[in-house]
């Protein structure tokens, strides 16, 4: 009989976490596991990429609880008073006050989610994959019936408003906590020492053969540019650092270097970045391509891959660029030193425009060095046996 596994995520937006999930599912033996993806929100550019044999379900009650958990409590209390629900408004206000006094988010979650029913199905393994995300961790821990529970941590917990007290309460319910890089694991344990015995590093899974195959599909760049093409893939947001990239490019252009910087991805910082691009007069040089479900033709065709992030968990786009043997410049984020050998397979720089600019200028001028990085990458294995960690644990 197949083991039943559920992965809980927010949605299937085009992003590194979602891509890592799809890669991992594709590596799992189909004859041994019945896999379900349980989503909070019914949308995302990767919906069509979910394998046909995978069940897709949605938490229909989430929209109402999302509003209750995310909007200011004062707003909810005022609304309840308008509806004549005085007792309920007083109770909610008191619970919120107590949760603040005792610094216990769990107290507030237990009260506000008390009427949220347990999920209708039982699983062998329940995985809070979009982590750390408080609601998903709570739901997997408290509302899904399962023999084993796994929490996945994809980010640097020191950068995302991590609630240590809630973590201490919830994570003791999980049997295993996977963290996507050594640096991210160290930071997690420092924040929550009590979970040390449960953590294990689990690097994001990629299929190099699949990436090579998909890099042959589609046309990629279509502007006939014959200078140096720089590429970045990632959500348009402050943490991904595209503003640093725009400023670094402006310096290169001002010095007369024949370069274009292309950015694949969408996000809430698009307007801000469009304004900065216009302000620095690099509209013809910094190109926002939007989201692409298959970025691999672009990675294959670019001359340099750059990751200008302010923070990461374990950057999956760096793995993909390594698969396609591209010279890489990355900021010193979590996992960078685990992926790039400084001065051998790429360059790791500080998180500022000057460091990015200087490293790119060196590589643009020194084509031999770029070729050396590519050649060195070709000698290094990219794929690993990470999937065996999960399969061994869930037996």
Q: C-alpha distances in angstroms, 240 versus 53, 247, 309, 330?
A: 33, 14, 4, 11
- Rounded Cα–Cα distance for residues 282 and 259 (Å): 11
Kindly tell me if the per-residue pLDDT of 9 is higher than 90. Answer: yes
Average pLDDT over residues 283-292: 96
Domains and CATH numbers, the chain: 3-61+117-202 (3.40.50.2000), 64-112 (no CATH), 209-378 (3.40.50.2000)
Q: Would the pLDDT of 340 be above 80?
A: yes
Element (H, E) at 98: helix 86-101
The SS3 call for residue 25 is helix
Q: Which residues pair with 186 in a beta bridge?
A: none
Burial grade of 70 (CB within 10 A; 0-12, 13-18, 19 or more): exposed
For residue 296, give the DSSP letter. H
Helix 242-254 crosses helix 353-365 at what angle (to 10 degrees)?
50
Alpha helices in 221-352 (DSSP H): 242-254, 270-279, 296-301, 316-323, 336-339
Residues 6+ apart with CB under 8 A from 3: 32, 33, 34, 124, 125, 394
Residue 37 vs residue 89, higher pLDDT? 37
Enumerate the β-bridge partners of residue 260.
229
Instruction: List the 259-264 sheet strands across, edge first.
Output: 286-290, 259-264, 228-233, 304-307, 328-331, 347-349
What's the gap between Cα 108 and its chain centre?
A: 27
Distance CA 388, CA 126 (A): 18
Total H helices, total E strands in the chain: 17, 13
**C-alpha separations of 3 from 6, 33, 130, 250, 318 in Å:** 10, 5, 21, 54, 33
Please give the span between the terminal C-alpha atoms of the chain, in angstroms, as a whole number.
Answer: 12
The pLDDT of residue 351? 97
pLDDT at 395: 82
DSSP code for 294? -
CB atoms within 10 A of CB 66: 14
More confident residue, 279 or 17: 279
Mean pLDDT of 355-363: 97
| C-alpha separations of 360 from 36, 230, 277 in Å | 43, 9, 19
Average pLDDT of the chain is 92
Residue whose pair of structure tokens reads 């644990």 in the numeric block: 393
The secondary structure of residue 346, as a DSSP letter, is B
The pTM of the full predicted model, rounded to 2 decimals, is 0.86
| Percent of the chain whose predicted confidence (pLDDT) is above 70 | 99
pLDDT in tens, 215-252: 999 889 999 999 999 999 999 999 999 999 999 999 99
User: Which whole number is the average pLDDT over 308-317?
Assistant: 91
Q: What is the pLDDT of residues 41-96, one digit of tens each?
A: 988 989 999 999 999 999 988 888 888 888 888 888 888 898 888 988 888 889 88
Distance from C-alpha of 361 to C-alpha of 158, rounded to nearest angstrom: 32
Q: Which structure tokens are listed for 223?
A: 């502007």
Residue 178: which of 102, 127, 225 has the closest Cα?
Answer: 127
Instruction: Say which DSSP state 39 is in.
Output: E
Pairing state of beta strands 122-128 and 33-39? unpaired
Q: How confident is the model at residue 384 (pLDDT cuts 50, 70, 90)?
A: low
User: What is the spatial distance between Cα 307 and Cα 318, in angstroms, rounded to a whole number?
Assistant: 7
Reply yes or no on whether the pLDDT at 383 is more than 70: no
Instruction: Label residue 152 by pLDDT band (50, 70, 90).
Output: very high
CB–CB of 35/22 below 8 Å?
A: no
């Amino acid at each position: 009989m197949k083991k039943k596994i559920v992965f809980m995520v927010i949605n299937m937006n085009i992003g590194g976490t979602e891509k890592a999930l799809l890669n991992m599912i594709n590596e799992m033996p189909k004859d041994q596991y019945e896999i379900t993806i349980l989503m909070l929100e019914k949308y995302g550019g990767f919906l069509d990429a979910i394998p046909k044999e995978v069940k897709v379900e949605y938490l229909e009650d989430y929209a109402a609880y999302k509003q209750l958990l995310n909007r200011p409590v004062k707003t909810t209390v005022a609304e309840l008073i308008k509806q004549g629900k005085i007792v309920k408004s007083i109770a909610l206000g008191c619970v919120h006050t107590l949760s603040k006094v005792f610094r216990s988010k769990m107290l507030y979650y237990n009260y506000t989610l008390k009427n949220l029913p347990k999920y209708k199905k039982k699983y062998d393994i329940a995985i809070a994959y979009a982590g750390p995300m408080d609601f998903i961790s709570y739901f997997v821990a408290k509302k899904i019936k399962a023999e084993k529970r796994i929490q996945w941590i994809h980010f640097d917990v020191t950068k995302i408003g991590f609630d240590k007290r809630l973590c201490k309460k919830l994570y003791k319910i999980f049997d295993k906590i996977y963290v996507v890089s050594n640096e991210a694991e160290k930071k997690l344990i420092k924040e929550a020492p009590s979970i040390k015995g449960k953590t294990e590093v689990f690097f994001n899974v990629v299929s190099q053969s699949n990436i090579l195959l998909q890099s042959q599909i589609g046309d990629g760049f279509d502007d006939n540019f014959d200078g140096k093409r720089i590429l970045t893939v990632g959500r348009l947001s402050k943490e991904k650092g595209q503003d640093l990239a725009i400023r670094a490019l402006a310096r290169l252009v001002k010095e007369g270097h024949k370069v274009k910087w292309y950015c694949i991805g969408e996000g809430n910082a698009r307007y801000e970045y469009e304004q900065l691009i216009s302000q620095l007069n690099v509209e013809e040089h910094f190109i926002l391509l939007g989201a692409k479900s298959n970025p691999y033709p672009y990675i294959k065709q670019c001359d340099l891959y750059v990751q200008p992030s302010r923070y990461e968990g374990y950057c999956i786009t760096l793995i993909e660029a390594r698969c396609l043997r591209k010279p890489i410049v990355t900021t010193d984020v979590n996992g960078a030193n685990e992926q790039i050998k400084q001065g051998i397979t790429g360059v790791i720089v500080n998180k500022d425009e000057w460091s990015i600019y200087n490293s790119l200028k060196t590589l643009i001028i020194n084509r031999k060095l770029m070729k050396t990085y590519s050649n060195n990458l070709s000698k290094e294995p990219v794929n690993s046996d990470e999937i065996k960690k999960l399969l061994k644990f869930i037996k």
